[in-house]
Structure 1
Amino acid sequence: MAHHNLLLLLLISLAAAVSAHNITDILAADPNYSQFNNYLSETKLADEINSRQTITVLVLNNAAFSAVADHHPLSVVKNLLSLHVVLDYFDNKKLHDISNGTTLSTTLYQTTGNAQGNVGSVNITDLKGGKVGFGSAAPGSKLDSTYTKSVKQIPYNISVIEISAPIIAPGLLTAPPPSADVNITALLEKAGCKTFASLVASNGLIKTFQSTSDKGLTIFAPNDEAFKARGVPDLSKLSNADVVSLLQYHASPKYLPVGSLKTSKDPISTFASNGAGKFDLTVSVNGDSVTLHTGVDTSRIADTVLDSTPLTIYSVDSVLLPSELFAKSPSPAPAPEPVRAPSPSPADAPSPLSEAPSPFPASPPAPAGETPAGAPADAPSAAAEKSSPGKSAGGHVTGSAVLTVAVTAFSGFVISGVFMS
């Protein structure tokens, strides 16, 4: 019995791990949160929230949120929203049962790299009289906001609770907005992507990227070591048009922060994409690791060089080779069988009197030819892809597919256990 209970607990845990939540749908149920909800979508923070397994959103109603958001640029509003997304689960019961009455909890703002010290954390304190206060964790900050009500909980996946006023960290609202004249070339060079920066500049694409950066732009820049790897084509042997297409393939005219990549289900179009939807990328996720797939090779996102709405620049560890330019040629047709002379008919066979038989036995048949070297290998397994992310193409495995396989396996195991016991 204990054996069966353990299996049941494992199934429940697995179901919780692959369960999904959608913050946009949750907030859409109440029009009082429409502004907060719209900004979550515009800044792509909704994707980041949906990609997390355990999270608490401290939501503000329209009146409380617009009092701050209406007076600041989108980049500042995004930082403000990030400070209201706690990387832990808090519901009504837990808020009133905090150890020692107070705790400091990390937020999404801390993960941006823009927060110094405790600026990216919030102070949650159980106050006297049943109230719970919220404020910045920075020293000297006040608890200017209180818990108002519970909105939605999916234990212990996501909790949405309303608070009375925005949490303002020191310097949060005075941070200068990103300049519209971001020097993309300088950022790429500083990130160790000098070869890519030089190619983009010499082929005239830097102007395209700069002009698009304020509308939506994501760059996947191979680092310098990627261009030295085996299998990278000699660019001098490509036509100018193909070189430009290859470079365009490393950028998308969309703002795609990590959260958006993790939740992306459709192929990502690039600057090289045409009307037929070719020259696109697909994404797979393994924990915090994000891998891009081209149909020919794969590349892991190594680092975030810049994430400043609406511009994102990543460094990647392999050159992305689009299948439209570098698809493997089909295997050659097998060589035709050698033409053999027809066997002589009995009438044509030599007379035993006219030709004596050979005193030696016939030679054995020649060994069968071996498979020619260089034949394409089978596609690597999923395990091989995980151990060597740069060499295989792949796609998403949805949570429902994982759960279906796991439930099937465990069901068989349970049935087997019942018959054996």
Structure 2
Amino acid sequence: MKAILTTLVLLGILCSANGFNITKILAKTPSFSVFNSYLSQTKLADEINSRKTITVLALNNAAMASLTSLPLSEIKRTLSLHVVLDFFNPTKLHDISNGTTLTTTLYQTTGNAPGNSGFVNITDLSGGKVGFGTAAKGTKLDATYVKSVAEEGYNISVLEISQPITTSVAEAPAPSPSQANITALLVKGGCKIFAGMLASTGAMKTFEDNAEGGLTVFAPSDAAFTPAVMKMLKNLTADDQVSLLLYHGLPTYSPLGTLKTTNGHLNTLATGGGAKYALTVTTAGDTVTLSTGVDKGIVASTIIDNQPIVVFTVNKVLLPTDLFSPAPAPAPAPEADVPATSPEASSPPAPAGPSDSPSASAAHSPAAAAKSEKSAAVVTASCQTSVFVVLALVAGAFFAL
């Protein structure tokens, strides 16, 4: 009985760890195809999938018509108002305390939402209607609840609303990437030393040239430039200094949500000409870590996220293995006195980890990714069946007693 219950718990943990995929959820309903497409284009889908609890206020194709003529950056800001960082289903909508509430959206988390413009007002109106609008005073609740589209536990809820939730702040034109002053942003964000090095070495031009097509910057904070780090940098040639600085940029737009769902190798602005200069991204909860093989840096904050540019601060200067010696492997733990006949003494060595395996790089190929997705789907599909089988065994064992 104990073994059966243990198996049931493990199966429950495995199934709950699979998460959700907003793109696949919306793909089941063709009338949300435009909304779904823009969630992918703006990378909001990655941000949604990286969250544990979320409500998506979906717009059908007809309701999206008023937004499709806007620049992609403005569409993203508007749609980010439709992603609520709380769980609301039909029952909860009609059971709001005092009939109205202000709730946080993804727009509020960007740091670009002045005042309370990143909050949405949800109000239970007369006649069974529920209205949605911005938290700005005097805003009309023109968008109303239509129906529930999907619901998975208390993790994700998709609700259809009648029309877009708009705000003059979200609709205001943002400066184009070519107008964005990267140096000023870095100085304001506490990365003055990094900004100065970009300017003095000429590496800034490469960053600016990539701004239109997509740019992600990992800017070390001023505190990351310790005396030891500064000494190492001074010993580099001029070309190697440029390569190190370019190592802190990606030639793609990868906001935080995308980084959280990446977990793998990323090429940088320094990659090319036979030089790897790759970063490895790993995520644990809300912490995103960038590993170089020499050191590790943590993404600390977002200075700006305005598609197609995102600038993060990191707590370390990232040192690539192309320029510095790899970090030494940790010393093995002292061996315990184990009899020669013990199972531990005769056990074969543990299999190589992902970084040591000859096929590690193949794990990122399209074929391997497809195989992985198929395997995940099989696990997900079999979880429910397995749980029912175990439940049946538990019931049988119980009545046998």
Q: TM-score, normalised by structure 1?
A: 0.73
Residues 232 and 319 in structure 1, CA contact (< 8 A), matched pair in contact too: no
AA partner of residue 111 (structure 1): T
For 2:167, the aligned partner's letter is A
8 Å contact 2:216–2:253 — kept in the other structure? yes
* Rg (Cα) greater in structure: 1
Partners of 1:207 and 1:260 lie apart in 2 by: 25
Deviations 1:147-190 (A, max 9, x none): 11221111111111111111123433234444522111222222
- Offset from partner CA, 1:233-285 (integer Å, 9 cap, x none): 52232233322221111111011111111111331110111266821111122
Partner of 1:307: 305
Is contact 2:177–2:309 with CA below 8 Å preserved after alignment? no
61-70 or 8-17, which moves further after superposition? 8-17
Identity of paired residues, percent? 52
Flag structure 1 segments of 5+ consecutive residues without an equivalent.
330-374, 381-392, 404-410, 412-417
- Whether the 8 Å CA contact 1:55–1:157 is kept in 2: the answer is yes
Candidates 210, 220, 243, aligned match of 2:241: 243
Deviations along 1:197-237, one digit per CA (max 9) or x if unpaired, are: 22222222111111211210011111222121546652232
Q: CA RMSD in A?
A: 3.4
Structure 1 counterpart SS, 2:169: coil
On the 8 A contact 1:60/1:163 being kept in 2, the answer is yes
Please identify, of 15-24 and 119-128, the stretch whose mean Cα deviation from structure 2 is larger. 15-24
Q: Supply the distance in 1 between the matched residues of 2:229 and 2:201 (Cα, whole angstroms).
A: 22
1:88 deviates by: 0.8
Higher helix share: 2
* SS of match in other structure, 1:67: coil
| Aligned residue in 2 for 1:408 | none
The equivalences for 1:66-215 within 5 A come to: 66-70=65-69, 72-178=70-176, 180-215=178-213
**Which structure 2 residues correspond to residues 255-294 of structure 1 after superposition, within 5 A?**
255-274=253-272, 278-294=276-292
TM-score, normalised via structure 2 length:
0.76
Q: Is the contact between residue 47 and residue 259 of structure 1 (CA under 8 Å) also seen in structure 2?
A: yes
The change in CA–CA distance for 1:7 and 1:90 in structure 2 (over 3 A counts) is farther
Unaligned runs of 5+ residues in structure 2 are: 334-354, 361-371, 381-389, 391-396
Q: Residue type matched to 1:306 in 2?
A: I
Whole-angstrom CA distance in 2 between matches of 1:218 and 1:211: 12
Give the AA of the match of 1:56.
T
For the structure 1 residues 236 and 40, does the alpha-carbon distance in structure 2 shift closer, same or farther, using more than 3 Å as the test?
A: same
CA change 1:376–1:176 in 2 (3 A) is closer
Equivalent residues, number: 346
User: Would you say the 8 A contact 2:99–2:124 is kept in 1?
Assistant: yes
Change over 3 Å in CA distance of 1:101–1:328 after alignment to 2: closer
Q: Please list every run of at least 4 consecutive aligned residues from structure 1 whose deviation after the TM superposition is greater than 3 angstroms.
A: 3-17, 175-179, 229-233
2:376 corresponds to 1:378: no
Residue pair 2:304, 2:311 contacting (<8 A) in 1 also: yes
In the TM superposition, residue 10 of structure 1 has moved relative to its aligned partner by 6.9
Which letter maps to 1:19? Answer: N
* One-letter code aligned to 1:273: T
Helix, strand or coil at the partner of 1:69: coil
- After TM superposition, the structure 1 stretch with the greater mean CA deviation from structure 2, 158-167 or 114-123, is 114-123
3-state SS, counterpart of residue 323 of structure 2: helix
